[in-house]
Structure 1
Amino acid sequence: MTAFNEPVAPGGHHDPAPPDPEPPMTPAQRNAFLGSFGGWAVDGFTLATFGLVLAPTLTDLLPRTGVEPTTANVGFYGQLGGAVFLLGWGCSFLWGPIADRFGRKPAMIGSILLFSLFTALAGLSTNVWQWMAFRFLCAVGIGGEWAMAGTVVAEAVPERLRVKLGGILHSANYIGQLATAVIYLAFGQLLGWRGLFLLGLVPALMVLFIRRNTEEPARWQAKSAQRQRQSLFAPMRAILSGEYRRRTIGNLLLLVVCVIGLWATATYVPTAVTDMAKRAGWEPSSVTMLAGASAALSAIFTIIGCLCTPRLVDRLGRKGALALLFVLMMVGIIGLYAIAYPLGSITLVFAVLPILGFGGANFAVFTIWLPEQYPTSIRATAFAFTTTISRWFAAAGTFVLGFAIHAAGSLSLPLAATALAFVLGLLLLPLVPETRDSVLPD
C-alpha cells in the first residue's frame, strides 16, 4: 500500500522524490564574497606596485640618498626594502584579534584605508629611507586583508561552495597584480613610478562598497556572548596552547617557506628582466614593457593556479596540493635564476614563468585550509597570526638574501638557492592536520 503523498508511476512503481534543490546564495552572502574579493584584489594591486617599479624607484631615490644606483645596490636596497615591508606585514597580526573581538567588517575597512594612504604617500618620497618608512606602514594594512577576506568568505558563504569560492577569492589578489602590470604596460612611461604609487588611493573606494553592502557573518554574530567575556588577546593565547599549538606552529613555518619563495622570486622577476634587457641593449620604453609583461604573465598563471586549487585540494588533499605547488616553485626558481638569468635568455625566462606563476598559487591552499583548522571564536586570529608573523621570520631571511645579492654582485645564485626552502616545506607538512572532506567548525 502506498502512502497518499508518494507519486506512483504507471505500472505501480514508485518514482523517487526529486532531491530538494540547493538554495542559491543570498544577497548578503554574495555581497560578503564580492566585498572580500574586491578588498583582496586592491591589496594585490598595491602589493604588485612595490615589486613592479622597484628598479626605477630605487634608481631615482638612491642618488638622492647618496648611493650609486648600481645593479648590486638596487638589489641590496630592494631586498632591504622587502625586509622592511615584511616587518610591517608581521605587525598586522593585530587585525586578527580585532576581527574576533569587534567584527570582520571594521577590521577589513581599517586595513584597506591604512594601506591605501601609505601607498600614495610612498609616491611622494624624497629619499630611500622615507620610502621604506611608508612601505612599512603600508604593509601593516596590507597584511591584514588576506586574513579578513579569507575569514569572511569561509564563514559567510554556503558550505557547499566554500572551497570553490576560497580558490576564486585568492585569485583576486593576482587579478589586482595583473591590473597593476597592465596599467604599467599601458601608462608606465606617462605615470612613472610616482604616479603608479599615487594610484594607491583608488583602493580606498572599496571601503564604500564594504560599508554599505557587507554584513557580519552569522557565525561570528552567534558568538557575541563569548566575545564580550574574553579579552582582546584571549584568542592569541588559545591558538598557541593546547590542541592548537602544533598546527599553529606548523602553519606558521609553512607560510615562512611560501613567503621566502614569493619575495625571493616573483618580487624580483621584473627586476631580473629589467637587468637582462638593459644588458642586451633594449630601449628604455621596451624595457618597461618587458618588465610589465613578465609580471603580467606570472600573475595570469597564478590566477589559473588559484582557480585550479579547489580541485587540487579535493583530489590530492590539502597537504598533497601544497606539496605539488612547492615542487613547481622549486622547478621555476631553478629554471629562472640558475639557468635563464645567467644565460641572459629572456625567451627562457618567459618559458619558465608559467611554472613559477602556477606554483605561486600555494598561498591559495591556505585560504581554504586555515579556516578549517580553527573554530569561529579564534579563526581570524589564527589566520592573521600565521599569515603575518611568518613575515617576520621571512624578513630575516630576505635581509640575508639581500646581503648575498650585494656580495655576489648578481641576483642569480642567491635567488636560485631559495629553492631549498621548499624542500624544507615538504618536510614540515606532517605538523599540520589534513582536513579534506571536513566542514567548517563552529
Structure 2
Amino acid sequence: MPTTVDREVSATRATKTPLNRSQITGFWGAWAGWTLDGMDSFIYALVLAPALTELLPRSGYEATPANVGLAGSILFALFLVGWGLSFIWGPLADRFGRTKVLAATIFTFAIFTGLAATAHTVWELGIYRFLAGVGIGGEWALAGTYVAEAWPEDRRKMGAGYLQTGYYAGFFLAAALNYTIGATFGWRAMFLVGLFPVVVSIMVLLRVKETDKWERAETVHPHVRHESSLKTIFNAQYRKRTIVAAVLLTVAIIGLWAGAVYEPSAVVQLATKAGMDKHDAARMASIATGLLSIGTIIGCLALPPMAEKIGRRKTLAVYFVGMAASIALAFGWAFYLPNGLVPFIALLVVLGFFGGNFALFSLWLPEQFETRVRATAFAFCTSIGRFFGAIVNFGIGAMVLHMKTLGVPIAITAVAFLIGLAVIPLAPETKGQELPN
C-alpha cells in the first residue's frame, strides 16, 4: 500500500512546471523556424529533377539522367559545405545571445532560398543553395540551445523531442506544397515559398525574450566574454566529448541524408517502373515523403521517454541499428524487387521512425556543455558532419554514375551506423543530470 510520501512523490512527478508566455512564444518561434528549415532543405530534393532538367541545357550540358544525378550530387554537396560553415553562428550566439542570432539564421536561409527561384544556370542555383545552407545549418543549433535553456528542467527533455518534430513537419509541408504548388506552377514557385521564413525571423527577433541562463552567464562570467568559445570546446575539459559528439552526428547525417535526399528520386523510379506517368510518379514521391515525415515525427516523440528510461547511449544505439537495417533493406532489397514500390514505401516509414535519432542530439548535446560555450559546441558538432557528408555525397554521385543504379550506393551508407555503434560507448551518459550552468 503506497505511503503518504509515495503519493506526494508521485504527485510531484505528475505535475510539470507550467510554461510562461515567453517560453511558449519562444518555443513556437524556434519550432516554426525549424519547420521552415526542414521545408527549405527538402524542397531541393523534391524539385531536383525538374530544376536540373531545365538548367543543365542552359549551362551547356545535356540533361541526361546520369548528368542530372551527378549535378544533383555536386549541388547537394555544395549545400552541405555551406551547412558545415554554419558553425560560425555558435560563437555569435554565445557572444550576442540566442534570439537575435537565431533570427539572423532564419532570415539568411529564407532570402537565398527565394533567390534560387531566379537561377538561370546550374551554377547560380549552386551558389544560392550554398548560401542558404549557411543559414539553415545554424537554425538547429540555436533553436536547440534556446529550448534547452529556456524550458524548465522537468520539461526540457520532452521539449527537445517536440522541437525536432518541426524539421520533419517541414518535410511533410514541402511534400504537400510539391503535390499542389510544385505540380501546378513548377520548381521556381517552390523556391519562392521559401521566402516565408522571413516573417518568422522578424517574430523571433521582436517577441522572444533572451534565455535567463545566457543572461546569468554573461553576468557571472564577464571576464570570459571575449575568449574564444571555439577554442574552449577543445580544451582538456571538453575535447573528447566534442570530438565524439561530432563523429556521432556525422554518422547520423550521412545515413539520414543519403536515405532521405534520394528517397523522392527512388520513388519516382519505382513508380515509373510500376506504370505511372511522370505527373503521378511525382505525386507518389510527395506521398512517400509525407509518410516518411510522419514516421520520423513519431520517432522524435518516442525518443525522449526512452532516453529517460534506458539512457542516452542505449537509446542512440537502438535508433542507429534501426537506421542501418531500414536503409539496407529499402535501398538494397525493396528497390530491386519487380514490384518494389509498396515495400519500399513501407520501409521508408520505418526509416523515418529511426531517423528521429536527431531528437536525441537536441536533448543530449546541451547537457554536455556549460552555458557560455553551449551554442558554439552545438553548432560545431552539428556542422562538422556536413563536410564529411559532402564528401560522401560526391562518392555516392560517382557510384551512381559508375554503377548506373541508385539503390546499392545508398544501401552502402548503412555501414556508417555500424561505425557509430562502436563510438557510442565513448560518449558521456548524462541521464538524470541537470543542464550545467
User: Is the CA contact 1:97–1:233 (under 8 Å) kept in the aligned structure 2?
Assistant: no
> Given the alignment, which residue of 133, 147, 151 partners 2:141?
147
Aligned-residue offset at 1:226: 5.8
- Select between 255-264 and 142-151 the one with higher mean Cα deviation: 255-264
2:244 matched to 1:257?
no
Q: Which residue does 2:353 correspond to in 1?
A: 358
Letter in structure 2 aligned against 1:255: L
Counterparts of 2:275 and 2:221, CA distance in 1 = 61
2:350 matched to 1:349?
no
2:143 matched to 1:182?
no
Counterparts of 1:283 and 1:336, CA distance in 2 = 23
Aligned-residue offset at 1:17: 8.2
2:403 matched to 1:408?
yes
Counterparts of 2:99 and 2:221, CA distance in 1 = 15
Q: Compared with structure 1, are the counterparts of its residues 233 and 359 closer, same or farther at alpha carbon in structure 2 (3 Å cutoff)?
A: farther
For the residue of structure 1 that corresponds to 2:186, the secondary structure is helix
Counterparts of 2:416 and 2:180, CA distance in 1 = 36
Letter in structure 2 aligned against 1:49: I
Q: Which residue does 2:23 correspond to in 1?
A: 29
Q: Which residue does 1:433 correspond to in 2?
A: 428
User: Is the CA contact 1:188–1:288 (under 8 Å) kept in the aligned structure 2?
Assistant: no
For the residue of structure 2 that corresponds to 1:201, the secondary structure is coil
Aligned-residue offset at 1:184: 1.3
Residues 374-406 of structure 1: per-residue CA shift (max 9 Å, x gap): 000000000000001111122112111211111
Letter in structure 2 aligned against 1:120: G
What does residue range 364-375 of structure 1 map to in structure 2 within 5 Å?
364-375=359-370
> Given the alignment, which residue of 289, 293, 317 partners 2:287?
293
Letter in structure 2 aligned against 1:404: M
Aligned-residue offset at 1:68: 2.4
> Given the alignment, which residue of 379, 386, 403 partners 1:391?
386
Counterparts of 1:93 and 1:357, CA distance in 2 = 26
Q: Compared with structure 1, are the counterparts of its residues 441 and 348 closer, same or farther at alpha carbon in structure 2 (3 Å cutoff)?
A: same
Q: Which residue does 1:7 correspond to in 2?
A: none
2:190 matched to 1:196?
yes
- TM-score normalised over the length of structure 1: 0.93
> Given the alignment, which residue of 59, 71, 76 partners 1:77?
71
- Percent of paired sites with the same residue: 41
Counterparts of 2:16 and 2:170, CA distance in 1 = 32
Counterparts of 1:305 and 1:174, CA distance in 2 = 10
Counterparts of 1:304 and 1:212, CA distance in 2 = 32
Aligned-residue offset at 1:70: 2.5
Aligned-residue offset at 1:37: 1.0
User: Is the CA contact 2:103–2:202 (under 8 Å) kept in the aligned structure 1?
Assistant: no
Letter in structure 1 aligned against 2:175: A
Q: Which residue does 2:206 correspond to in 1?
A: 212
What does residue range 377-388 of structure 1 map to in structure 2 within 5 Å?
377-388=372-383
What does residue range 214-233 of structure 1 map to in structure 2 within 5 Å?
214-225=208-219, 228-230=222-224
User: Is the CA contact 1:151–1:371 (under 8 Å) kept in the aligned structure 2?
Assistant: yes
Residues 64-112 of structure 1: per-residue CA shift (max 9 Å, x gap): 2222223222222211112111100011101000000001011101100
User: Is the CA contact 2:176–2:290 (under 8 Å) kept in the aligned structure 1?
Assistant: yes
Task: Give unmatched runs, 5+ long, in structure 1.
Answer: 1-12
For the residue of structure 2 that corresponds to 1:90, the secondary structure is helix
Counterparts of 1:226 and 1:409, CA distance in 2 = 60
Aligned-residue offset at 1:187: 2.7
Q: Which residue does 1:236 correspond to in 2?
A: 230
Aligned-residue offset at 1:280: 3.7
Q: Compared with structure 1, are the counterparts of its residues 146 and 337 closer, same or farther at alpha carbon in structure 2 (3 Å cutoff)?
A: same
Residues 335-383 of structure 1: per-residue CA shift (max 9 Å, x gap): 1111111225111111211111111111111000000000000000000
Aligned-residue offset at 1:438: 0.8
- Select between 109-118 and 180-189 the one with higher mean Cα deviation: 180-189
Question: Which structure has the larger Rg over C-alpha atoms?
Answer: 1
Counterparts of 2:401 and 2:221, CA distance in 1 = 49
Task: Give unmatched runs, 5+ long, in structure 2.
Answer: none
Counterparts of 1:390 and 1:143, CA distance in 2 = 11
Counterparts of 1:189 and 1:163, CA distance in 2 = 39
Q: Which residue does 1:121 correspond to in 2?
A: 115
User: Is the CA contact 2:43–2:191 (under 8 Å) kept in the aligned structure 1?
Assistant: yes
- Select between 202-211 and 291-300 the one with higher mean Cα deviation: 202-211
Counterparts of 2:302 and 2:148, CA distance in 1 = 18
User: Is the CA contact 1:40–1:173 (under 8 Å) kept in the aligned structure 2?
Assistant: yes
Counterparts of 1:439 and 1:225, CA distance in 2 = 21
Letter in structure 2 aligned against 1:28: S
Residues 273-307 of structure 1: per-residue CA shift (max 9 Å, x gap): 11222344422220121110111110110011001
Letter in structure 2 aligned against 1:413: V
User: Is the CA contact 1:98–1:232 (under 8 Å) kept in the aligned structure 2?
Assistant: no
Residues 209-260 of structure 1: per-residue CA shift (max 9 Å, x gap): 2123201000000122466533656111111111210010000011111111
- Select between 56-65 and 224-233 the one with higher mean Cα deviation: 224-233
Counterparts of 1:297 and 1:69, CA distance in 2 = 30
User: Is the CA contact 2:17–2:155 (under 8 Å) kept in the aligned structure 1?
Assistant: no
For the residue of structure 2 that corresponds to 1:216, the secondary structure is coil
User: Is the CA contact 1:371–1:379 (under 8 Å) kept in the aligned structure 2?
Assistant: yes
- Select between 56-65 and 402-411 the one with higher mean Cα deviation: 56-65
Letter in structure 1 aligned against 2:336: P
User: Is the CA contact 1:61–1:126 (under 8 Å) kept in the aligned structure 2?
Assistant: yes
For the residue of structure 2 that corresponds to 1:242, the secondary structure is coil
User: Is the CA contact 1:101–1:227 (under 8 Å) kept in the aligned structure 2?
Assistant: no
Q: Which residue does 1:337 correspond to in 2?
A: 331
* Structure 1 runs of 4+ with >6 Å offset: 16-21
User: Is the CA contact 1:236–1:382 (under 8 Å) kept in the aligned structure 2?
Assistant: yes
Q: Compared with structure 1, are the counterparts of its residues 17 and 55 closer, same or farther at alpha carbon in structure 2 (3 Å cutoff)?
A: closer
